[in-house]
Amino acid sequence: KLFGNDPERDERLIVRSERPFNAETRREDLRDSFVTPNHLHYKRNHLPVPVVDEEEFALEIEGPHIEDGFRLSIKELKERFEKADVMVALQCAGNRRKDMTTGTDKPVKGLPWEEGAISNAVWSGVYLRDVLAAAGYPVKEYEKAHMEGVEHVQFDGLDGYGASIPATTAMDPQREVLLAYEMNGEPIPPDHGGVLRVVVPGTVAARSVKWVNKIALSDEESWSHWQRHDYKGFSPSATQETSDYEKAESIQDMPVQSAILDVSERDNRTVHMQGYAWSGAGHGIVRVDVSADGGKTWMDAELHVPPQDRNRRWAWTKWEATVKLPKGVKETELVCKAVDTGYNTQPETVDSIYNVRGVLNSAWHRVRIPVGE
Ligand code: MTE
Ligand code: MO
């Protein structure tokens, strides 16, 4: 049975496809906890959930400098390496895809995700860098990796999925790339890559390969379909036929993002807004601007910043604001946009960032609401 190993899932998830299982987290569930509980974390599977036996599982590593036939069991991983806990917001490249074409007749290929293809969790495991060092790679000289033809670190999952990240990301101690065996203090559930998954903080979640059992250091990116022929961005004018996957750069770090998760009425002239903001490469969020009149006037939201360095802020920042609604209108548009530590901000509309694959929608998030008398 192809999907015979797929687990039971929480009924509160919003299912976008049953087989393979893809579901986003409801806005209220993202709103209600800073750390998303495992059963409510969004789930993105390209294939059936594989059967993984912890006792029999072995991680294989290969490449220049790596000891021949280097393998580690889960027990060895846990015993030989320092345990690290890192809070990370994983975001799918397709988060907010649905909004990319709202009100237009433009085509877009992919699951119609709204704002919930993102979740925040504490991942525990060992640093990939430590494991590569133990396998024989001189990680301390990782900046020189390219001299020896090591440009990429490739990951293969037991389901048949694969991806890669730049070698410098993998080996940079600042980037905190993990081989994780726990999610929020529990063994990683089957849907999220148990018994072992890669977690690449600050990078598109597509590179955080679940059920990882093979790592290779290489001069090339992974040959996986999802590395070479997916998860790339294109010009707004490129069509399905003219999108050149060979030429385009694969998505790694991601742009600054924010979304409104909740709007609640305080009185007929005042509403309370709540949401998230996040940026790639560990950039923290320094400001979230909210508007109650479609972007004519703005105020600063109050930020709930995670306890992480401003350049290693892998978790999301939550925000809230109480805003006055404009007078003399029947309807108005609430808006949010975030600013990261590089003072990067979000585009006003999707027009300039539309792409036929529907990835990286980071336009201002807008929610229309009626205004009372
Ligand atoms: N890893 C494997 N082995 N198989 C997959 O289908 N999907 C990727 C990534 N890693 C995937 C994978 C994508 S596109 C995303 S968005 C994240 O896993 C989703 O992680 P989650 O299901 O734990 O939220
Ligand atoms: Mo994804």
**What distance in angstroms lies between residue 118's CA and the mean position of ligand 2's atoms?**
9
**Residue 284 token pair:** 């923290």
pLDDT of residue 48: 98
In SS3 terms, 236-294 reads as CCCCCCCCCCCCCCECCECCCEEEEEEEEEEECCEEEEEEEEECHHHCCEEEEEEECCC
Beta strands 186-187 and 152-157, pairing class: unpaired
pLDDT of residue 42: 99
Phi/psi of residue 271, each to 5°? -130, 155
Ligand 1 pocket, residue 209 CB under 6 Å: yes
Question: In angstroms, rounded to a whole number, what is the distance separating the alpha carbons of residues 227 and 221?
Answer: 7
Report CA 259 to chain centroid distance, whole Å: 14
Q: Whose CA is nearest to atom 4 of ligand 1?
A: 161
**What distance in angstroms lies between residue 162's CA and the mean position of ligand 1's atoms?**
10
Question: In angstroms, rounded to a whole number, what is the distance separating the alpha carbons of residues 47 and 262?
Answer: 32
Ligand 1 pocket, residue 283 CB under 6 Å: no
Beta bridge partners of 334: 367
- Token pair 């290489």 in the structure block, residue: 218
**Residue 54 token pair:** 């912890």
Report CA 302 to chain centroid distance, whole Å: 23
pLDDT of residue 88: 99
Ligand nearest to the CA of residue 200, numbered in listed order: 1
pLDDT of residue 146: 77
Cα distance between the two ends of the chain = 58
Ligand 1 pocket, residue 159 CB under 6 Å: yes
pLDDT in tens, 314-354: 999 999 999 999 999 999 999 999 999 999 999 999 999 99
Closest ligand 1 atom to 158 CA: 3
CB 132 within 8 A of CB 46: no
ipTM: 1.00
pLDDT of residue 143: 79
Ligand nearest to the CA of residue 118, numbered in listed order: 1
Q: Domain residues of the chain, as ranges?
A: 14-228, 257-370
Question: In angstroms, rounded to a whole number, what is the distance separating the alpha carbons of residues 16 and 43?
Answer: 10
Q: Which CATH architecture has domain 257-370?
A: Sandwich (2.60)
pLDDT in tens, 233-269: 999 999 999 999 999 999 999 999 999 999 999 998 9
pLDDT of residue 1: 83
CB 152 within 8 A of CB 218: yes
Ligand 1 pocket, residue 124 CB under 6 Å: no
Distance (Å) of CA 302 to CA 39, 74, 115, 280: 28, 42, 20, 21
Low-confidence stretches of the chain (pLDDT beneath 50): none
Ligand 1 pocket, residue 139 CB under 6 Å: no
pLDDT of residue 279: 98
Q: Which class is 14-228 in CATH?
A: alpha beta
Q: Whose CA is nearest to atom 10 of ligand 1?
A: 209
- Token pair 């923290």 in the structure block, residue: 284
Pocket test for ligand 1, best of 6, 59, 159, 161 (most atoms within 8 A of CB): 161
**What distance in angstroms lies between residue 187's CA and the mean position of ligand 1's atoms?**
17
Residue 27 CB contacts under 8 Å (≥ 6 apart), including other chains: 115, 116, 261, 262
Distance (Å) of CA 131 to CA 36, 52, 125, 156, 337: 28, 21, 11, 16, 39
pLDDT of residue 123: 99
**What distance in angstroms lies between residue 211's CA and the mean position of ligand 1's atoms?**
9
* CA count, 13 A, side-chain hemisphere, 164: 24
Q: Among 314, 322, 337, which residue's Cα sits nearest to residue 119?
A: 314
Q: Whose CA is nearest to atom 19 of ligand 1?
A: 44
Ligand 1 pocket, residue 231 CB under 6 Å: no
**What distance in angstroms lies between residue 91's CA and the mean position of ligand 1's atoms?**
10
**What distance in angstroms lies between residue 347's CA and the mean position of ligand 2's atoms?**
21
Ligand 1 pocket, residue 99 CB under 6 Å: no
Question: In angstroms, rounded to a whole number, what is the distance separating the alpha carbons of residues 133 and 138?
Answer: 6
**What distance in angstroms lies between residue 55's CA and the mean position of ligand 1's atoms?**
23
**What distance in angstroms lies between residue 185's CA and the mean position of ligand 2's atoms?**
23
